[in-house]
Structure 1
Amino acid sequence: MDVQKIRAIFESEIVKTQKKVKQYEELAQPIAPDNAIGRVSRMDAINNKGVMDAALRKAKERLEGLKRNLGKLGTDEFGVCPKCKQEIAIERILLAPQSSFCVNCAR
């Protein structure tokens, strides 16, 4: 697979992930204590905020990984596991473009 196709995949994934980050940031807004939504509803809102915070954190980690690996594209570091120094299969790169590690080292 050529570098331009891989670059396009990374850029597309970055755009999608940036949209998710923005969406999660909006959904993870703090619950105002003076918001009169009822005790049970407030507990649900607090629980949902926790879920959104976790989703936001994962989306930001994915975005960082995508940008990091896009920056390596075209260098000797791209597609090489930093832990075991083995080549990462192109299928793995396309399936998990945010990951820097091969399947074995990612476990």
Structure 2
Amino acid sequence: MTSSEKEKLKKVIDDQIVVLKEDIKELQELTKPIPLDASIGRISRMDAINNKTINEASLREKKKLLQRLEKAKERADTKDFGICTKCGNEIPYGRLEYMPHTTRCVQCVG
């Protein structure tokens, strides 16, 4: 991988981190407890609880992805960045551009 490709990937990582942090902030607002004294109907309360559960799952996934991206950002300056942790081959640039947090090539994932 060239140094310019590595710099592009660092920018992709930084951009994705910024977007994820905004998404996480929004989801944290959506997952706040539903007050019992809120005057909504029984069906609406059930819908709100269901939506809260879905948003909590999404929040957990986004937090995991944020951690993986932050680790990728730390690895970006090492010589092992872009190298499959299983087989040792270079991970294709296109895969890293799409999933900069990945640590394995396509053959080793499947």
Common fold by TM > 0.5: yes
TM-score normalised according to structure 1 size: 0.89
Is structure 2 residue 76 aligned with structure 1 residue 73? Answer: yes
Query: Structure 2 unaligned runs (5+)?
Result: none
Is structure 2 residue 67 aligned with structure 1 residue 64? Answer: yes
Of 27, 48, 53, the match for 2:30: 27
1:7–1:70 contact (8 Å) kept in structure 2: yes
For residues 67 and 100 of structure 1, the distance between their equivalents in structure 2, rounded to whole angstroms, comes to 13
1:81–1:87 contact (8 Å) kept in structure 2: yes
1:63–1:98 contact (8 Å) kept in structure 2: no
TM-score normalised according to structure 2 size: 0.87
Deviations 1:59-80 (A, max 9, x none): 1111111111111012122112
2:27–2:56 contact (8 Å) kept in structure 1: yes
Across the aligned residues of Structure 1 and Structure 2, the Cα RMSD in angstroms comes to 1.5
Structure number with the bigger relative contact order (C-alpha 8 A, sep ≥ 6) is 2
> Counterpart amino acid of 2:22?
K
1:65–1:100 contact (8 Å) kept in structure 2: no
Identity of aligned residues (%): 37
Query: Structure 1 unaligned runs (5+)?
Result: none
1:87 Cα offset (Å): 1.7
> Counterpart amino acid of 1:29?
K
Is structure 2 residue 47 aligned with structure 1 residue 44? Answer: yes
For residues 34 and 105 of structure 1, the distance between their equivalents in structure 2, rounded to whole angstroms, comes to 52
For residues 57 and 104 of structure 1, the distance between their equivalents in structure 2, rounded to whole angstroms, comes to 27
Query: What is the aligned residue count?
Result: 107
Matches within 5 A, 1:63-102: 63-102=66-105
Tell me the SS of whatever aligns to 2:104. Answer: coil
